[in-house]
Amino acid sequence: MKTQYYTAASLDGFIATEDDSLDWLFPLGDLNEAGYPTFIDAVGALAMGSATYEWILRHASQVAAETGASWPYAQPAWVFSRRILPRVAGADIRFVQGDVRPVHAAMRDATGPKNLWIVGGGDLAGQFHDAGLLDEIIVQVGSVTLGRGKPLFPRRVTSPPLRLISVRQIGSGLAELRYEVPVGGTGAA
């Protein structure tokens, strides 16, 4: 069981524009070509911040066209927010806030041997990393730059560095980089 931050980013390290647009991402490759079905099959639970959750709610029809359902996950999802957010009928969504450690334990209890996916944003993935709970960072780096936006991973991780374990080209639009977080590799913010 691994805890994985799996995301796509621009070449200059942003996962969305500052106004939460992902329009730059979709022309770069399709989900099947990018290996998403294989990845999601191994996921038992996922966690995301409220901006990511609200993006999914705002783009329900686009999400349904891409994945077949407006709430695209069969797995239980933990959504971090200090606000009251709308619910999705029929979806297993648990709203939480604060320390990621008890949430990680609850996710692990719910999944058995499957992986945990930290969907984003970058700071939430950083909170799991700060707590020593992140095992892998898998980034599909798009062939675009955004100049500014929502950061991929707003942490300083230098010593020990992440360990690059694979590189895969996905057409001309994406390069997938898979990194292992070394044991004890919780850098300072």
Ligand X SMILES: NC(=O)c1ccc[n+]([C@@H]2O[C@H](COP(=O)([O-])OP(=O)(O)OC[C@H]3O[C@@H](n4cnc5c(N)ncnc54)[C@H](OP(=O)(O)O)[C@@H]3O)[C@@H](O)[C@H]2O)c1
Which residues contribute to the site for ligand X (CB under 6 A)?
Answer: 7-9, 15-16, 20, 22, 25, 48-52, 55, 80-83, 97-98, 119-124, 127, 150
CB of 103 to ligand X, least distance (A): 8
- Helix, strand, coil percentages in the chain from 3-state DSSP, rounded to 5: 25, 30, 45
Query: CB-wise, 122 or 173, nearer to ligand X?
Result: 122
Helices H / strands E in the chain, number of each: 5, 10
- What is the rounded CA–CA span in Å between residue 73 and residue 44? 10
Chain residue whose CB lies nearest ligand X: 49
- What is the rounded CA–CA span in Å between residue 147 and residue 118? 24
Query: CB-wise, 87 or 182, nearer to ligand X?
Result: 87
CB of 168 to ligand X, least distance (A): 16
**Which pair of tokens denotes residue 90?**
């029929």
Residue 60 CB coordination number (10 Å): 14
Query: CB-wise, 99 or 160, nearer to ligand X?
Result: 99
Query: CB-wise, 58 or 163, nearer to ligand X?
Result: 58
CB of 120 to ligand X, least distance (A): 3
CB of 160 to ligand X, least distance (A): 25
Rg from Cα positions in the chain: 16
Residue with tokens 């070509």: 33
